[in-house]
Each structure stands twice: as C-alpha cells, then as structure tokens.
Amino acid sequence: MATAEATLDEAPKKRSKKPLVVGLALALVLGGVGFYATFSGLILGGGGHEPADHGPGPLTGVAFVPLPTIVVSLGPDSGSEHLRFTAQLEVVDTAQADVATLSPRILDVLNSYLRAIDSASIEDPQAMARLRAQMLRRIQVVTGEGRVRDLLITEFVLN
C-alpha cells in the first residue's frame, strides 16, 4: 500500500487562478487610463470633444453676379425650337463690380457659344458638365484670371 500512497502524493497540484485575475484587472485599469489620457488630450494632442455651441463662421470672399436670360433659337434638325438659359457667376467679392461691368461681353461670348454648338450636344443630358466647363472657360478668358470661380446654371430649358 505504500506504493499507492506515494503515487497519490505525487499527483499534479492545481494551478492558482490568482495571477490570471490580477492580470485581467490590471489590463482593464491600464486600458481605462490609456483611453482617458488619449481622450482628454494628454497623449497624441487631442481628441477631446469641444461643445458644438457655435455654428460656422460668416461666409466671406464670395459674391454672385446674375446674368440676364438668353434665348437661343435652335436649328431645324433639333427636336426643340428654343433654348432658354439663365445663370449666375460665383465671383470673388472684390471683383463683383468688375464682373458686373463686363456682363455685356460675357453675354456675347455665351450667346455666340450656344449658337455655334450643334443641337445634339445641347439635347444630350450627359453633356451638361462639358457645356458648363466650356462656358466657364470662355467667361474666365473675358474677365481675367482669378475673378470668376464658377458658373451656376439656374435655368436650361429646351422648348
């Protein structure tokens, strides 16, 4: 029997779960401290949230110059008889008076361009971006660099 008692004493002992619990608790505490330090801006320079009690600042540096409506007669091969075109120019606010002074020349350029293009280009709905880019480039040539930012088409009606 002595051999049976000796084998029972040599059985492996159960390992303690204390190091696992301590390690898990330490990981949670360090994770919380790291989150707080990052969120409050102590690490990596920020991330803290500021209250959103203020709206966007005032809109400065932009003005709009309306252009009179242009009516262009289309050719006999077109499905429509006329094109009615109205737009506004987005300009630098300091150049608003200069662009308004040049509006007769701008209308002449737009009128000439719209009469020169074929009716298939006008009637194609996917061609609007190309037409707009072409007209904007012509307007920028007339007004000079840095005055006109964009051409905003407010009416483009075929009837």
pLDDT one-digit tens code per residue, 8-59: 556 667 888 888 999 999 999 999 988 888 888 787 765 555 555 678 888 8
pLDDT at residue 5 is higher than 70: no
- At 156, the pLDDT band (50, 70, 90 cuts) reads very high
Nearest 5°: CA angle at 91, between 86 and 93? 130
Token readout for 153 is 């088409």
Q: How many other β-carbons are positioned within 10 Å of the β-carbon of residue 83? A: 22
Token readout for 11 is 């059985």
pTM, to two decimals: 0.63
- At 110, the pLDDT band (50, 70, 90 cuts) reads very high
The phi and psi torsions of 60 (rounded to 5 degrees) equal -125, 160
Domain at 62-158, CATH from 3.10.620, 3.30.479, 1.10.3470, 3.40.50: 3.30.479
Residue extents of the structural domains in the chain: 17-51, 62-158
